[in-house]
Amino acid sequence: MQLNRPLDFLVIADHAEGLGVLGQIYAEDPDLSGSWFWQRWISAFFLERFRGSIQDPVEGTSNFRARMATPLISPGDTTDPLTVGPKVGLVNALTQLIPLETIHEMSASMWAKSVAAADAHYEPGVFTPIIGWEWTQTANGVNLHRVVMSTLDGEEAATIDPVGSDDNPYPEDLWAGLDALTQATSARFLSIPHNSNLSKGYMFADRTIRGEDITADYARTRMEWEPVAEVTQFKGDSETHPALSPNDEFADFEQFEFYLQASPANLNYTPAVGDYARTALMRGLEIEERIGVNPFQFGMIGSTDSHTSVASSEEPNFWGKVGIDSIPENKRDTVEGSGTVDFNGWNMSASGLAAVWAEENTRESIFEAFTRKEVYATTGSRIALRVFGGWGFAEGSESADDLAEIGYTEGVPMGGDLTSAPETGAPVQLLIRATKDPEGANLDRVQVV
């Protein structure tokens, strides 16, 4: 299978927790020699059932959802979601069947294969596979997921362990882990908030996850590691919501109002200020007024979140999120056929893509574009967008052949800071050029919010 339109770059970001273990369980028996006799017998029995679940998509999906968090945290709560209820997650479930040491060995084996594949397909200037992973914290259905990207090459990546939420449960732990990896390697790392629309208000809250005040040190640390946030993907749009932007006629675009928790996943879905990018940007300015540092001064990208290895963001060619979603009879019902209102891949979106303005198509150059926030999101189309801010653009600059040179010389690009306002009090100017996808529809308008 091959995409109709090739990508320039791709971040390979499997879940760090139990990375690759399910596939290896399905393919072969894991090493249970570290368990006592009856534990080996019991584990072998349940592992066989586990394989059956992987092979049978209906049973497998039912078992997966049965292991999702029962929601003890509601939208609007301020309780630390990691302190309420039992610990759930793939690694916690697997340790009941397989020794933890074996799980780590299986993950390390798959990680080595993954990073080797990334290097094998790296063609600087043509295609750039970027090595990364997903940090997957969903305590009580509070989605705090982050995608980690790096400048690692395969050889150095094979010497590290991805930082997962099983050992590093809070975002601050993730950042500390990335800092340690930065010190131990020659690479750089950053973390991208992912699906904030499902965070029950916690992703961009005005307090830390532990409920502590946001300090200047916290804000600086967060911006060091998280200069960019995701605003569109399979599980809906995270830019805004009609309840938060009632005067924006486009605010209802591709909403996904299901939490990542046990059924009913849509129970009391309530859009919160801390869930969406627009309100997060405003909250960041308010926090900056109090402490002098803005923790939410981020750029924006899109991504897919495909779990099928088919990263299609094209609506006519959308295969759903996971393998079972491609089965036609599952398009309008839950996989169990119960009729209960719940989510599957067919009430998700064919979205999105990350665009960067980089000097060249290499790992280092693309990473640099992310750190300076010279990036943008689309919902899947290949729109070329330039935005510069400044005070001295001449009339007609938007049509000039050397628009980029004008923008960089007379202003700052997307993601930059405007810091030298003229004493005349002249208003800020935006220099914008948007070019349609050559295979897409005409552009209707440019909307500035």
What are the pLDDT digits (tens) for 312-357? 778 877 877 777 666 666 555 554 444 454 666 777 888 999 999 9
pLDDT on residue 300: 98
Residue 57 or residue 310, greater confidence? 310
pLDDT on residue 268: 75
The per-residue pLDDT of the chain, averaged, comes to 88
- Whole-number Cα distances in Å, 15 to 12, 20, 134, 167, 334: 10, 8, 5, 13, 24
The token duo for 10 is 């791709």
Lowest-pLDDT choice from 7-21, 50-64, 410-424? 50-64
**Highest mean predicted confidence (pLDDT) among 23-32, 219-228, 346-355:** 219-228
The token duo for 189 is 């790392």
pLDDT on residue 70: 74
- Non-local CB neighbours of 348 within 8 Å, separated by 6+ positions: 234, 235, 236, 256, 320, 321
pLDDT on residue 336: 44
* Residue 42 binned pLDDT confidence (cut-offs 50, 70, 90): low
pLDDT on residue 98: 75
258-296 per-position pLDDT tens digit: 888 876 655 678 999 999 999 999 999 999 999 999 999
In the block, tokens 């960041």 appear at 284
Q: Using the 8-state DSSP alphabet, how is residue 443 labeled?
A: P
Contact 69, 141 (CB under 8 A): yes
Contact 274, 283 (CB under 8 A): yes
pTM of the predicted model over 0.85 = yes
